[in-house]
Amino acid sequence: MPSLTAAESLIATPSLPTKETLSIVVVSFFVHACVYLLASKFSSNLSRRDAANFKSRIVSTAHAIYCSFAYLFVFLSDENLYWRHKYLYSLSIASPLFAISLGYFLFDTWIMLVHRHDPDMGSWPMFAHHVLALLSCSVFLSYQNFIILGASSLGFTEATTPFTNIRWILEKKQMKDSLWYSLNGLCMFLGFWIFRIGFSIFSFVIVLRNFSDVMSQDLFVMPLTLFTVCALSFLNIMWTWKVTQGALKLFLNSRIAKKAVKAM
């Protein structure tokens, strides 16, 4: 099991991933593919389009649950991350975690490309999110640095994925009027504001607190850091706004329904 040994430097320098790291990426890709195939047993009564969507969501939920706990553990395991906000910081335990996530995003991006004509699976915001995730995980593995941005982004933002997928499943089961749908919607609403908007604020704090270190990096890492933070924040704000609109609509509709019942 990898140790929690850490190191920091002033300038990040890239290196080729080790054979062990590449092996983890490949194994992760095929493990998630196996989960996708196993999910087929529970989607036999769905249409071909919904079955593909269901299987993809099962895979993303499995990764999100693992990802949230694992990366939050990494983030909270060292005060240089959760307290001192070290931008240039290496933590050995993070490498296999990023390799597993890279394998997942490679698989899920491939599934998105296969079903690119399905708006639920191949939307441009989700594709942009996956491209940024692939690029970010590759950079983390190559530079062995920027753990705070990687661990916090994957640990925080992926925590909302299970609620999004549960919402889709409940809608397909015609359970939009159920208590479970309302409770899941509340959790999703709070999750997006706490985790995704929280990450957007946190990421800007990290960049501002370490601005001189960010600007001193090479001409690949420096613009990539700024672009990724801004792009992910834009996507998170856009998705949070949509979730908020849905929550408000659900709340207002419930109030209208209650008034109608009282008026009868």
> pLDDT tens digits, the chain, 264 residues: what are they?
444 555 555 667 888 888 999 999 999 999 999 999 999 989 888 888 899 999 999 999 999 999 999 998 888 888 888 888 888 888 888 889 999 999 999 999 999 999 888 887 878 888 998 999 999 899 889 988 888 888 888 888 899 999 999 999 999 989 988 889 989 999 999 999 999 999 999 999 999 999 999 998 888 889 999 999 999 999 999 999 999 998 888 777 766 555 555 555
Q: What is the CA radius of gyration of the chain?
A: 20
In this structure, which amino acid lies at residue 84?
A: R
pLDDT, position 3: 44
Indicate yes or no: pTM above 0.75.
yes
pLDDT, position 2: 45
As beta bridge partners, residue 63 has none
C-alpha distances in Å from residue 213, one per residue of 88, 124, 141, 145, 218: 8, 32, 19, 12, 10
pLDDT, position 1: 41
Q: Give the Cα separation of 70 and 32 in Å (integer).
A: 17
